[in-house]
């Protein structure tokens, strides 16, 4: 597939109005995307667990209008929101060529998250993927005229998912990994044949039962605004002294993870996942300008997890996004003991004692 394959020629049906609604989950990267080229092309491949409960629910109501410019309103959790508008405007501009109906309608975008607002959890992955899916449903109703695209749209769920992921990527890179579950790869990598820089693909390799219902408890260490936006963050990799090594390491880690997912070797899983998290932060600490996004409590939690692993034979591990919050990952059979450990030893490091329990999920669904 190339970008051209996502450009429809024309639509064969007209719609005056309508509405569509999708729930789309967040995801947590095991091998991290950090650094991008023009047009949201990643510098290295990444793989993530799709989450189950942390979702954005978005309804788009569309009404036919004179084609002139983009026209939309956004409501976040019931209230009109102006702050999100520039990001959506940019998104529409980027995807217009692939969604030529965008200027023909006024869109009312109503969105809400299942996780608390200002929890410090990035909602761009779930938010952008939910919008992309809504737009795909609208496009599907307009049914394409071109032979190739029409048969693809009607017959192939995989084209729908691919284009939804392709569009979501243009909104926010990591959003392209939120369409499907349970594991999604984004970025061309030799060990994963179907992988692409243009969209995320469901990981079709063997997955050991150790990873079934894998748990992710998100410890909210800092609920404030992100200190470094992802746009600024990715730019830090331009001219970064370790960029080349890092990008090739991500390729190696993804190939290794593929083997680990098949074998179920959780000791090796822990090593890759924690190393990836610390490498991401190491990149931020060694860029110009440099940042430390971990907080003292992030380190306290990491040390507690390491101590717990030493004194038990637990396979619990952590990963981090570009912030201070800690994702605690563990197999389902350790659920009880780890929740006990979290309550007894980690909650005191969370802001207002807040944490969110989630697990690996199956992807977005239409409502």
Among 46, 50, 113, 161, which residue interacts with ligand DP6 (rule: CB under 6 A)? 46
Q: Is 32 in the site for ligand DP6 (CB under 6 A)?
A: yes
What x/- string results for residues 208 through 247 when contact with ligand DP6 is judged by CB under 6 A? ----------------------xx--x-------------
Residue nearest to ligand DP6 (CB): 173
Is 221 in contact with 297 (CB distance < 8 Å)?
yes
Q: From the CB of 5, what's the least distance to ligand DP6, in Å?
A: 22
Q: How far is CA 157 from the centre of its chain?
A: 20
Residue-wise DSSP of 117-176: TTSS---HHHHHHHHHHHHHHHHHHH-B-SHHHHHHHHH-HHHHHHHHHHHHHHH-GGGG
Q: Is 283 in the site for ligand DP6 (CB under 6 A)?
A: no
Q: From the CB of 189, what's the least distance to ligand DP6, in Å?
A: 14
Decide: residue 352, CB within 10 A, 0-12 exposed, 13-18 middle, 19+ buried.
exposed
Q: Which stretch binds ligand DP6 (CB under 6 A): 26-34, 66-74, 111-119, 253-261?
A: 26-34
Continuous segment of H or E residues that includes residue 282: helix 266-285
Half-sphere exposure at residue 95, Cβ-oriented, CA atoms within 13 angstroms = 28
Q: From the CB of 234, what's the least distance to ligand DP6, in Å?
A: 5
Q: Is 33 in the site for ligand DP6 (CB under 6 A)?
A: yes
Q: Is 91 in the site for ligand DP6 (CB under 6 A)?
A: no
Q: From the CB of 307, what's the least distance to ligand DP6, in Å?
A: 26
Q: Which stretch binds ligand DP6 (CB under 6 A): 33-41, 199-207, 294-302, 304-312?
A: 33-41
Residue from 172, 159, 167 nearest 133 by CA: 167
Q: What is the Cα–Cα distance from 89 to 323, expressed in whole angstroms? A: 26
Q: What is the Cα–Cα distance from 257 to 271, expressed in whole angstroms? A: 10
Q: What is the Cα–Cα distance from 184 to 170, expressed in whole angstroms? A: 17
Residue 341's SS3 state is helix
Q: From the CB of 176, what's the least distance to ligand DP6, in Å?
A: 8
Q: From the CB of 127, what's the least distance to ligand DP6, in Å?
A: 10
Q: Is 319 in the site for ligand DP6 (CB under 6 A)?
A: no
Residues that bind ligand DP6 (CB under 6 A): 29, 32-34, 40, 46, 122, 124, 172-174, 230-231, 234, 280, 321-322
């Amino acid at each position: 597939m190339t970008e051209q394959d996502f450009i429809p020629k024309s639509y064969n049906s007209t719609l005056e109005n309508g509405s569509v609604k999708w729930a789309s989950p967040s995801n947590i990267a095991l091998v991290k995307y950090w650094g991008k080229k023009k047009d949201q092309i990643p510098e290295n491949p990444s793989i993530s667990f799709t989450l189950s409960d942390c979702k954005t629910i978005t309804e788009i109501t569309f009404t036919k209008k004179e084609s002139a410019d983009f026209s939309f309103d956004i409501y976040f959790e019931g209230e009109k929101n102006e702050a999100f508008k520039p990001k959506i405007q940019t998104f529409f501009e980027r995807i217009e060529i692939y969604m030529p109906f965008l200027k023909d309608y006024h869109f009312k975008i109503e969105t809400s998250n299942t996780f608390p607002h200002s929890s410090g959890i990035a909602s761009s992955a779930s938010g952008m993927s939910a919008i992309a899916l809504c737009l795909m449903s609208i496009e599907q109703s307009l049914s394409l005229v071109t032979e190739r695209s029409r048969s693809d749209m009607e017959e192939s769920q995989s084209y729908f998912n691919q284009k939804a992921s392709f569009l979501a990527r243009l909104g926010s890179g990591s959003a392209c990994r939120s369409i499907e579950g349970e594991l999604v790869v984004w970025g061309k990598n030799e060990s994963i044949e179907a992988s692409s820089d243009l969209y995320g693909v469901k990981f079709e390799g063997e997955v050991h039962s150790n990873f079934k219902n894998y748990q992710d408890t998100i410890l909210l260490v800092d609920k404030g605004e992100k200190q470094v936006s992802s746009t600024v963050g990715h730019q830090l990799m331009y001219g970064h002294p370790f960029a080349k090594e890092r990008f090739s390491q991500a390729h190696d880690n993804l190939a290794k993870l593929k083997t680990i997912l098949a074998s179920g070797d959780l000791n090796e899983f822990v090593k890759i996942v924690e190393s990836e998290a610390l490498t991401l932060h190491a990149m931020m600490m060694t860029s110009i300008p440099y940042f430390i996004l971990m907080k003292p409590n992030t380190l306290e939690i990491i040390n507690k997890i390491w101590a717990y692993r030493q004194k038990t034979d637990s396979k619990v591990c952590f990963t981090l996004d570009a912030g201070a919050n800690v994702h605690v990952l563990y197999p389902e059979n350790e659920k009880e003991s780890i929740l006990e450990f979290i309550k007894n030893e980690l909650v005191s490091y969370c802001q207002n004692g807040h944490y969110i329990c989630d697990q690996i999920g199956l992807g977005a669904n239409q409502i």
